[in-house]
Amino acid sequence: MTDLGVPDDDMPIFSRVRREDVSATGDTSLAAMLDQTEPPAGMEAVAEALAALLAAPLGDELTGQAAAMAEFRQWFGVSHQPRRSRRRRSTLLTSLLRARAAAAAAAAALCLGGAALAAYTGALPAPVQRLAHDVIGAPSPKSTSHHPARSGSPTGPKVTGPAAFGLCNAYAHAKEHGTPEGRDVAFSKLVKVAGGADKVTSFCSGVQHPGTSATHRHQSGKPSSHSHGQQPAHHTGPPAHPTDPPSAHPTSRR
């Protein structure tokens, strides 16, 4: 398998979070990054869209289970074991569904809300967040000591700059599909800045898409045209993931 021929000098360079600015303000919350981050053109939308790959199982993705279970039973010689009760089966299913409901809801909110900054708030599923971290310099998915911007208690994004657009979108979506309490830290700030819950809508109507003035995101098909930011601080170095490399390797049998 060979890599396909895009010349190396064609690689995009994305603008970065200016970490020194974050530390200079003394605000170590993730929210501080939001005000100072110009999301890479188009890439944040891709990262969010990728979350759809982690949505709850679709019906036809589970249809092969009977065959797999039959193979398992035959190989392990457990066909004589009593079947588990329907009750236990449904309990397992329920817990599976419950465990995934949050992920699915998050993916749905991202898809609909168009919250441009999910990758920068760490709101994406961990695998997507890790990829975003590696590729576009978004924060890594877990709070660690070497990511000071992610430490500290959540204060929610500041409701200025590009964060406002994403927050307004997310707020509108949450309101439409229930109540926005789930994100109360961020939303309470939005409400506060707007001057009350009843004023959020009118506040948000005045918020511009962060790409409006820069003609990036969907308007621009060329992320590299947006490379005025600083060179990545850790783009080429090994990412400091708390989770990798794996401590064990598969003992594969052929």
Partner 1 sequence: MVGEDFAAVLAAAQAGDEMAFSRLWRDGNPALLRYLRVLAPDRAEDIASETWVRVVRGLADFRGDEMAWRAWLFTTARRRLVDDARRRARRPEAPLDEDAAARLTEPGDAADAALERIGTQAMIQLLARLPRPQAEVILLRVVGGLDTETVARMTDRSPGAVRVAAHRGLRRLAEIMAAEGVTL
Structure tokens at 249: 């390797």
**Three-class SS of residue 82?**
coil
Answer yes or no: are the C-beta atoms of 104 and 56 closer than 8 Å: yes
For partner 1, the closer CB: 64 or 196: 64
For partner 1, the closer CB: 24 or 69: 69
Amino acid at 141: P
What distance lies between CA 239 and its chain's CA centroid?
17
For partner 1, the closer CB: 132 or 194: 132
- Smallest gap, in angstroms, from Cβ of residue 238 to partner 1? 8
For partner 1, the closer CB: 202 or 224: 224
- Smallest gap, in angstroms, from Cβ of residue 220 to partner 1? 6
What distance lies between CA 242 and its chain's CA centroid?
17
User: CA 136 to CA 19: how far, in whole Å?
Assistant: 15
Amino acid at 139: P
- Smallest gap, in angstroms, from Cβ of residue 5 to partner 1? 10
Count of C-beta atoms within a 10 Å radius of residue 198: 9
- Smallest gap, in angstroms, from Cβ of residue 142 to partner 1? 13
- Smallest gap, in angstroms, from Cβ of residue 182 to partner 1? 17
User: CA 171 to CA 129: how far, in whole Å?
Assistant: 22
For partner 1, the closer CB: 6 or 196: 6
